[in-house]
Amino acid sequence: MSETGASEPGGGRLPVPFRGGGFVLRPHRIAGAAGLLALIALWQVGSTRGWISALMAPAPSEVLAALGVLASDGTLVIHLSASLGRIGLGWTLGTAAGLAAGLAMGMFSLARAAGLPVVSALFPIPKIALLPLLILWFGIGEPSKVATIALGTFFPTAIATFSAVDGVPRSLIRMAQSFGVPAPRIVWSIVLPGALPGILAGFRITASIALILVVAAEMIGAEFGIGAFILQSGNLMRTDQLLAGVVVLSILGLLVAALLSWAERVLLRWR
């Protein structure tokens, strides 16, 4: 069916202009990689032509070569494993405690009333500022570094978990109560899955914080670790090795982000 015979007042016809373009984000995977490659290429050209000082910023090819040497002679493994051990232990301890505190504050009025002001007051303190104190308490060895990372991850995890639990719709909890679901099962079946997106978002933040803190702590007092290695390389004016260490940190950050993205894809498939 078609409708015809409509009058044309004034004679001519005017096309309706299209006004709906733009404001739509589309993925451009190639553009992202191309931007990074272009920057590296520019850096390489600048170094090769002598526009950039080899001491201040050695060419990417030299950084890559230094990285190869560090990987092959075992130096990288020694420093990387030291850093990963500290991050793993500190992050796990801080996250476990933060999850427990956040869940308690999210679910129990007394824990919220007592805990939230304390957490909110201590959260803004830069945790690296506490390292000297922690060294006094625990000595210059591993415990002070692990404690710094644990403290740094505890507070954001506690706050993210508390907010996530608080954001679980009460209607879902009421629904479960109306079916007589026992409280522990409500926590397991509703509160935890409902809070998971917020908790995982918190993990993204704490993973970055753990990386920053381990480097800072290792620069202050460690023989081994990526932070210590970067500092030693700087002291020896080995900027190629220094930047190789920075590249390792960057790759580490990307790997952690990829791991968390994968966890989100698997655990939050329902979104």
Partner 1 sequence: MDLRLDGVSHRYDALPVLEEVNLTARDGEILAIIGPSGCGKSTLLQLAGGLIQPSGGTVTMAGAVPPDCLNPITYVFQDFALLPWRTVAGNVALALEHHPLPRRELRDRVADALSRLGLSEFADALPRQLSGGMRQRVGIARALVVNPAVLLLDEPMSALDAQTRELLIDDFRWVWLQQKTTALYVTHNLAEALRLADRVAVFSRRPGRLREVVAVPIPQAERNQSGARLELAKIQDALWSLIRDEASAADREMAHV
Among 14, 180, 235, 266, binds partner 1 (CB under 8 A): 180
Q: Which ranges of the chain would DSSP assign to H, the alpha helix?
A: 29-48, 60-72, 75-107, 109-122, 131-138, 142-166, 170-178, 183-186, 192-221, 226-235, 239-267
Stretch that binds partner 1, among 65-73, 136-144, 186-194, 199-207 (CB under 8 A): 186-194
Stretch that binds partner 1, among 82-90, 116-124, 147-155, 187-195 (CB under 8 A): 187-195
Q: Which is nearer to partner 1, 49 or 271 (CB)?
A: 271
Told to check if 201 binds partner 1 by CB under 8 A, we report: no
Residues 6+ apart with CB under 8 A from 144: 131, 134, 135, 137, 138, 217, 221
Q: Which is nearer to partner 1, 22 or 180 (CB)?
A: 180
How far is it, in rounded angstroms, from Cα 234 to Cα 267?
42
The dihedrals phi and psi of 143, each to the nearest 5 degrees, come to -55, -40
How far is it, in rounded angstroms, from Cα 93 to Cα 91?
6
Told to check if 190 binds partner 1 by CB under 8 A, we report: yes
CB of 6 to partner 1, least distance (A): 30
CB of 194 to partner 1, least distance (A): 8
Token output for 93? 């301890």
Stretch that binds partner 1, among 15-23, 142-150, 180-188, 239-247 (CB under 8 A): 180-188
How far is it, in rounded angstroms, from Cα 73 to Cα 110?
56
CB of 179 to partner 1, least distance (A): 4
Told to check if 81 binds partner 1 by CB under 8 A, we report: no
Q: Which is nearer to partner 1, 192 or 246 (CB)?
A: 192
Token output for 234? 């700087």
What's the number of CA atoms in the CB half-sphere (13 Å) around residue 50?
0
Residues that bind partner 1 (CB under 8 A): 169, 171-172, 174-182, 185, 189-190, 193-194, 268, 270-271
